[in-house]
Amino acid sequence: GATCPRPYCLPSHLVPTFKVAAAQVDYSPLYRCLHTCEVLGVVHECAAYYKQERQKQAELVLRPSSTMDSETTYRQYFHSVAGFFIAEHVVATTTQGLTTRQWLDSLWQQALTSIGKVMKQQLARCSTASMIREVKQLIVDFNATLNAHTYSVNRLTDVLLQVRTLSAAIDQTHVSVALLLGRSAPATKRCWS
């Protein structure tokens, strides 16, 4: 039969599926919906609705569901945010007319602001050097992942600087306490070179 030149009309064996948070994501329902909207001549309305709903979902993903008090809760947060934006990257690169790179970049910039606020608030609760190191590594991995999907992560450098400042303060506190107690300062493993 005839082939459709649009990416969302590819044969099922070519429709992209990507591993996001260890689960297969099947985009074919979205592609079929977009194709239906195109046939009905309402792509603009469908795109507006899609963007509106994804904006709401982004706000939910960016708001931690609980206090981030362990490596696990930080990991869940960063995985959720990364999964959301990786999925949006896939949609933006495999569809025409549903989203634009400009819209996605705008949403990402809003996310960076939100991530910065969340991290500032949550990092204030971190009190151990080991927790700080774990969070730092999660942020580094998050940056690398999103950068690989063409997102600018330059603004997240500020978050890493917050982690560095907090780490130095915790190290200084440990040294001061040890000196006050007349002990040798504990050997601390530095996160930063």
pLDDT at 143: 86
Tens of pLDDT along 158-169? Answer: 776 777 776 666
Q: What is the mean pLDDT of residues 107-127?
A: 87
Query: Whole-prediction pTM value?
Result: 0.74
Average pLDDT in the chain: 77
Closest by Cα among 137, 104, 139 to 120 = 139
Cα 186 from Cα 13, distance rounded (Å): 58
Percent of the chain with pLDDT over 70: 72
**Which range is most confident: 48-52, 66-70, 124-128?**
48-52
Name the helix (H) or strand (E) containing 59: helix 43-62
Q: Tell me which amino acid residue 141 is.
A: D
Cα 104 from Cα 110, distance rounded (Å): 10
Contact 27, 94 (CB under 8 A): yes
Please list, in sequence order, all residues whose beta carbon lies within 8 angstroms of the beta carbon of residue 97, skipping any fewer than 6 positions away: 34, 38, 43, 44, 47
pLDDT at 81: 95
| Distances 148 to 86, 117, 140, 152, 155 between C-alpha atoms, Å | 10, 23, 12, 9, 16
More confident residue, 186 or 142: 142
Contact 135, 162 (CB under 8 A): no
